[in-house]
């Protein structure tokens, strides 16, 4: 999901030249060893060549990012596709990418972008402004079923893209929008010559599915898919037509080949890193594995990178879609706000941080963590650990222990019980779910934990076929206006009740209104004030529960150099074109 909630902070647009509408942007190049953003292990100049092996936890659902929010699809898009502008995940700056420069109108609602000259798709076809116009048509075409269409709207209306000449496109916003061009970091540009037929035929949603031959794909990213072996790996090779070069003139990417091994189990992933079979893990290092990896770091065979407090905390939420509970007697209590507040009080966050994360996590009470320094509000409602308070809230819902067992029931004898789904193989999520089960047992709530394969879990969530989920999703940007698919009631990532035609509750309508005003505001201080109100309303109604935010560590084989770590996922592969390996 445009997990993908997932970065305001500092615009690379360092400032505006007074009265001109022009913006400054920095020179775009790969970081040199020793520069900020470069890997600590890059003590020799990166050289071209070699093969790097990383891991995936699940299969791709599609190779078309416009129609799939799958984590693997998003990673493939980062590696094989490109955007007009890009948010640097390490600096949070906006960078020119396929567009080499832009001008903004005086009111900040229109941007004229100039494309780089002489670019080619990975199949050798010339890149043109018509590809940009096609991508905008596709993302808004109802028949295409794009998962990005709603996120690329302002005030409920789409952007417009007009071809000015062979290298220039004018993008207009229908209303004032504070983040400006940062919105376009969500949109990979797709090849008109490969996909226009599918769009015209109404089959765009099925185009580039996981069974598509690699020869039918084309992109502007540093790599292209060489082969996909289901259940085993994706093999990507250097895109020979990639446009970017290193400061010394070396054509990027440095790597000849990037292999993504599918390793569903986190323990197996760690063992393969330790043995040297893989160079990078998709997952951050678990707290309990730090002690195992420290000796390897000391021996010089592995590098550990501390990234800070995560901005993508795990989330627990109930299905709040009314029709799901329509004939279930538990609806009277399980969809009540007091039920969720009671659960929040019943969970000892400090104990969770200690038992699951060995103390390397901080308690949180909402989706915005202290890692997101620009937008985090410390004044959100908090639910301190109190079994007594939790019990009082549950009693207020008519739930009491009315028989000889240990569980509460309502007046009709309906047991306070639910099933929570989580990812199979993600041991941290499984342990968090088990901890939740044990905590809620203390207040008389029975929890059944069921672990599913990742794609099956996502399918159940999208269909609304679940009672509760312990989940992990990724934000593509930290600016809340660019995570409106999560915040707005109509959003496809509004996880507790997806894509509502109208707000199901007054508080969701209030958040919608606050977010519209927040996104439209041009003054940063006003935007922060409005978003603090959003976090307050969210915290009062707790549609999703957040317990802790772990400190993140990434690990890489010592032979990997020129890494640019970031707090957002994928923490290392987001800048894959500048990663190199020692000969």
End-to-end CA distance of the chain: 37
Quick one: pLDDT at residue 454? 87
The region, left, alpha or beta by phi > 0 then psi within -120 to 50, assigned to residue 80 is: alpha
Quick one: pLDDT at residue 30? 39
CA distance 347 to 523: 38
pLDDT in tens, 189-216: 999 999 999 999 999 999 999 999 999 9
Is a pLDDT exceeding 80 seen at residue 51?
Answer: yes
Decide if 492 contacts 150 (C-beta within 8 A): yes
Secondary structure tally for the chain: helices H, strands E: 14, 22
Q: Which of 84, 88, 87, 58 is nearest to 73 (CA)?
A: 58
pLDDT in tens, 373-432: 999 999 999 999 999 999 999 999 999 999 989 999 999 999 999 999 999 988 899 999
| Residue 337 preceded by cis peptide, ω within 30 | no
Identify the residue with better confidence: 7 or 442: 442
Residue showing tokens 């010592």: 558
What are the tokens at 228? 């996909």
Average of pLDDT values for 216-232? Answer: 98
* Confidence grade of residue 241 (pLDDT, cut at 50, 70, 90): very high
DSSP of 221-246: SSEEEEEEETTTEEEEEE-TT---B-
Quick one: pLDDT at residue 151? 83
Q: Which of 299, 295, 297, 288 is nearest to 266 (CA)?
A: 288
Average of pLDDT values for 244-259? Answer: 97
What are the tokens at 240? 């020979």
CA distance 488 to 475: 15
What are the tokens at 377? 């509000």
Long-range contacts of 380-388 (CB under 8 A, 24+ apart): 380/535, 380/536, 380/538, 380/539, 381/536, 381/539, 381/540, 382/539, 383/341, 383/344, 383/345, 383/542, 384/345, 385/345, 385/346, 385/347, 385/348, 385/349, 385/350, 386/345, 387/345, 387/346, 387/442, 387/443
Least confident of 26-35, 42-51, 286-295, 425-434: 26-35
CA distance 462 to 53: 32
Least confident of 22-36, 70-84, 409-423, 445-459: 22-36
Q: By three-state DSSP, how is residue 45 classified?
A: coil
Is a pLDDT exceeding 60 seen at residue 10?
Answer: no
Average of pLDDT values for 295-305? Answer: 96
Average of pLDDT values for 238-249? Answer: 96
CATH code given to domain 315-550: 3.10.105.10
Q: What SS3 string covers 240-276?
A: CCCCCECCCCCECCCCCEEEEEECCCHHHHHHHHHHC
Is a pLDDT exceeding 70 seen at residue 18?
Answer: no
pTM of the predicted protein model: 0.78
* Confidence grade of residue 527 (pLDDT, cut at 50, 70, 90): very high
Is a pLDDT exceeding 80 seen at residue 23?
Answer: no
Quick one: pLDDT at residue 472? 86
Is a pLDDT exceeding 60 seen at residue 40?
Answer: no
In 347-479, which ranges are continuous DSSP H helix? Answer: 349-357, 387-396, 427-441, 454-463
Is a pLDDT exceeding 90 seen at residue 536?
Answer: yes
**Radius of gyration, CA atoms only, the chain:** 24
Residue showing tokens 């915290």: 539
CA distance 472 to 546: 11
């Amino acid at each position: 999901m445009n997990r993908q909630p997932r970065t305001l902070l500092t615009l690379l647009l360092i400032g505006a030249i007074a009265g001109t509408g022009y913006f400054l942007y920095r020179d775009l190049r790969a970081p040199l060893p020793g520069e900020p953003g470069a890997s600590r292990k890059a003590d020799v100049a990166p050289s071209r060549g070699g093969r790097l092996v990383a891991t995936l936890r699940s299969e791709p659902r599609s190779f078309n990012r416009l129609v799939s929010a799958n984590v693997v699809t998003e990673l493939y898009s980062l590696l094989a596709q490109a955007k007009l502008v890009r948010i640097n995940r390490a600096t949070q700056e906006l960078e020119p990418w396929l567009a080499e420069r832009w001008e903004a109108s005086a009111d900040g609602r229109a941007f004229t972008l100039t494309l780089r000259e002489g670019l080619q798709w990975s199949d050798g076809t010339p890149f043109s402004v018509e590809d940009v116009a096609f991508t905008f048509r596709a993302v808004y075409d109802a028949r295409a079923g794009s998962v990005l269409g709603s996120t690329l709207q302002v005030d409920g209306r789409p952007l417009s893209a007009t071809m000015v000449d062979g290298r220039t496109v004018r993008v207009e916003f229908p209303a004032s929008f504070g983040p400006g061009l940062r919105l376009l970091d969500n949109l990979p540009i797709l090849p008109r010559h490969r996909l226009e037929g599918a769009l015209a035929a109404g089959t765009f949603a099925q185009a580039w599915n996981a069974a598509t031959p690699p020869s039918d794909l084309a992109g502007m990213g540093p790599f292209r898919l060489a082969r996909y072996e289901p259940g085993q790996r994706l093999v990507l090779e250097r895109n020979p037509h990639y446009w970017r070069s290193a400061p010394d003139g070396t054509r990027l990417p440095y790597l000849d080949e990037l292999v993504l091994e599918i390793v569903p189990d986190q323990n197996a992933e760690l063992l393969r890193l330790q043995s040297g079979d893989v160079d990078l893990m998709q997952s951050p290092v678990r707290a309990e594995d730090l002690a195992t990896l420290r000796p390897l770091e000391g021996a010089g065979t592995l590098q550990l990178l501390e990234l800070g407090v995560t901005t993508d905390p795990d989330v627990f939420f109930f299905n709040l879609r009314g029709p799901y509970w329509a004939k279930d007697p538990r609806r009277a209590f399980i969809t009540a706000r007091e039920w969720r507040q009671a659960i929040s009080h019943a969970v000892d966050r400090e104990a969770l941080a200690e038992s699951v994360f060995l103390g390397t996590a901080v308690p949180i009470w909402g989706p915005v963590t202290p890692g997101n320094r620009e937008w985090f509000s410390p004044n959100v409602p908090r639910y301190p650990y109190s079994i007594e308070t939790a019990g009082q809230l549950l009693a207020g819902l008519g739930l009491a222990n009315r028989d000889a067992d240990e569980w509460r029931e309502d007046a009709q004898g309906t047991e306070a019980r639910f099933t929570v789904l989580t990812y199979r193989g993600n041991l941290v999520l499984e342990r968090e779910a088990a901890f939740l089960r044990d905590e809620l047992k203390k207040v008389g709530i029975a929890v059944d934990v069921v672990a599913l394969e990742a794609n099956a879990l996502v399918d159940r969530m999208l269909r609304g076929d679940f009672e509760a989920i312990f989940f992990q999703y990724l934000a593509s940007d930290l600016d809340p206006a660019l995570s409106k698919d999560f915040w707005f009631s109509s959003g496809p990532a509004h996880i507790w009740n997806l894509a509502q035609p109208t707000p199901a509750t007054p508080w969701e309508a209030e958040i919608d209104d606050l977010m519209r005003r927040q996104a439209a505001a041009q003054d940063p201080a006003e935007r922060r004030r409005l978003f603090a109100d959003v976090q307050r309303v969210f915290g009062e109604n707790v549609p999703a529960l957040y317990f802790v935010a772990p400190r993140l560590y990434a690990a890489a084989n010592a032979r990997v150099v020129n890494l640019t770590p970031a707090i957002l996922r994928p923490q290392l592969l987001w800048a894959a074109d500048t990663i190199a390996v020692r000969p």
